[in-house]
Structure 1
Amino acid sequence: MKTITKSEVAVTTALFLLISSLVLILLLSGCTYERIEGNNHLTNEMRNSDPFDEVISFGDFQVNILPDSVTTLEIKAESNILPYLYTISDGSTLRIGYRNGFNIHAHFPVEVIVHTPHARILRLQGSGSIKCNGFNEPDVKLYLSGSGSMNCGFSAGSLKAEIAGSGEMELSGSVTSSDFRISGSGNIQSLEMPQKSCSANISGSGDVYVAASEQLDVHISGSGNVYYSGEPQISSSISGSGKVKKY
């Protein structure tokens, strides 16, 4: 039986690493994105859409959602950017984003104005913004991932709002109960949204501001704080330096 020497093992290992590196370089070279530079020519485009009650925005768009009896979309952007912006509805969810394979460099913010009878679930991923006012829904769910912002005003029975990252939520209107969750340094400001009961769960350094009249349940892991107004019964479970404070 032939004995494999240490030098042969070293050569084999070196060849393997060299081949792996070459393969990786070839793969990465095929993943370059075409750069699309905005032409500074702002224009409006109207788009039709199937009905939906959920909106997902991927990117740095300024999305403004307005209550209406019909479902239409208005896009404000540079004319050569518009073809690369998709707005797709599958009958329940509207998705807004840029087509894959392109590096879009817009000189002006891209604004998407959404007219819809319902807005029950809103998701923002990235550094953009979502504004939503005037809706009356039985339950609402808000999800923010990244550094973006959401400014929403509505009436609802129940509200679930989650932040993962450094994003900001500013909420107004009225709800019966809420479930707030923060993972990271984001903040939820809801002092202008009176409610009977609230459950606030913070993991990290983010803060929750809430107006609760009957019950406030707090779970904090980290340095985040819960600031409250009203006279609710309070139950708390805290590990870290976070606190529950009267506002």
Structure 2
Amino acid sequence: MKTKLSVALFLSLLVFATCKKDKECVKGNGDFVQETRFPEAFNSVKIYNDANLYFAPGTESRIDLFAESNINPLIKTDVSQGVLTISVNDDECYTATVAPEITLSSPDCNEFYMNGSGKLEAHGINSDYFKIAVTGSGPVNSSLGVNELDLISEGSGNINLAGYARECNITLLASGNVYARNLESATCVVVSEGSGNITVNVTVSLSVIIKGSGNVYYSGNPPVIEEIITGSGLLIKED
């Protein structure tokens, strides 16, 4: 009897899992609407879908979501312990006519984790610390003025940075390029383990570790340069 019950339970779970896996994605209906949400305060954002994300500092925590009317309800925006997570349920998916656009504002947000093909536009950043981590294919464009910048790229999207960071730490592990010539830094630590190229502008101290095939290009004439190269990539000075 126990064996029969176990087999029945296994089959029911299998059917449930198959239904979730085979569930058809919602197709965008072409009827675009805007919805405004007011979440609790957040200082970090994690996105797990293919929406385009636009951020600028503001006096309140606010989300403006522009998407097709049958897709809007599928996009979850939950805050837990200061982290805003943008996602869809595991058993749901959608195919949009045009990628949803999400505009965020917050007085204290300083971390972004991008895990999809959507782009990130983050401008007007002025803070002590700022972090961007990318594992997807979407591009990133950001203008900022910070004391410390941490950038981790594990995706294929290109990253463009402008402004000033007193200290910058750039880690590249994949094929995306990092263009930071328009970001002036006093000191910068660069670790390149991928095939993408990195361009930096450093005025005081540059430390470079190259383990992959991507090149590191630098300008700014830093008097202190430390390099460890075990890959095929090169450290190249630009005029």
What TM-score results when the alignment is normalised by the length of structure 1? Answer: 0.87
Within the alignment, does 1:236 sit opposite 2:220 as a pair? no
Do the aligned residues in 2 keep the contact of 1:59 with 1:127 (CA within 8 Å)? Answer: yes
Residue equivalent to 2:101: 111
SS in structure 1 of the partner of residue 87 of structure 2: strand
SS in structure 1 of the partner of residue 109 of structure 2: coil
Within the alignment, does 1:52 sit opposite 2:52 as a pair? no
- Give the deviation of 1:97 after TM superposition: 1.5
Residue equivalent to 1:173: 163
More strand by share: 1
Q: Which has the larger radius of gyration?
A: 1
Unaligned runs of 5+ in 1: 1-18
Query: In structure 2, how many angstroms separate the alpha carbons of the residues matched to 1:157 and 1:69?
Result: 22
Runs of 4+ more than 3 Å apart? 22-28
Query: In structure 1, how many angstroms separate the alpha carbons of the residues matched to 2:108 and 2:72?
Result: 25
Q: Tell me the number of residue pairs that the alignment of Structure 1 and Structure 2 aligns.
A: 227
Residue equivalent to 1:186: 176
Residue equivalent to 1:76: 66
Equivalences for residues 72-151 of structure 1 within 5 A: 72-151=62-141
Do the aligned residues in 2 keep the contact of 1:34 with 1:101 (CA within 8 Å)? Answer: no
Query: In structure 1, how many angstroms separate the alpha carbons of the residues matched to 2:179 and 2:98?
Result: 28
Do the aligned residues in 2 keep the contact of 1:161 with 1:181 (CA within 8 Å)? Answer: yes
- Give the deviation of 1:26 after TM superposition: 5.0
SS in structure 2 of the partner of residue 83 of structure 1: helix
Residue equivalent to 1:35: 25
Output one character per residue of 1:16-35: Cα deviation in whole Å (capped at 9) or x when no partner: xxx9xx97975752332232
Within the alignment, does 1:162 sit opposite 2:152 as a pair? yes
Query: In structure 1, how many angstroms separate the alpha carbons of the residues matched to 2:16 and 2:79?
Result: 33
Residue equivalent to 2:236: 245
* Partner AA of 1:29 in structure 2: T
Query: In structure 2, how many angstroms separate the alpha carbons of the residues matched to 1:219 and 1:70?
Result: 41
**RMSD over aligned Cα atoms:** 1.8
What TM-score results when the alignment is normalised by the length of structure 2? Answer: 0.90
Query: In structure 2, how many angstroms separate the alpha carbons of the residues matched to 1:35 and 1:57?
Result: 19
SS in structure 1 of the partner of residue 141 of structure 2: strand
Unaligned runs of 5+ in 2: 1-6
Q: Percent identity?
A: 29
Query: In structure 2, how many angstroms separate the alpha carbons of the residues matched to 1:222 and 1:34?
Result: 40
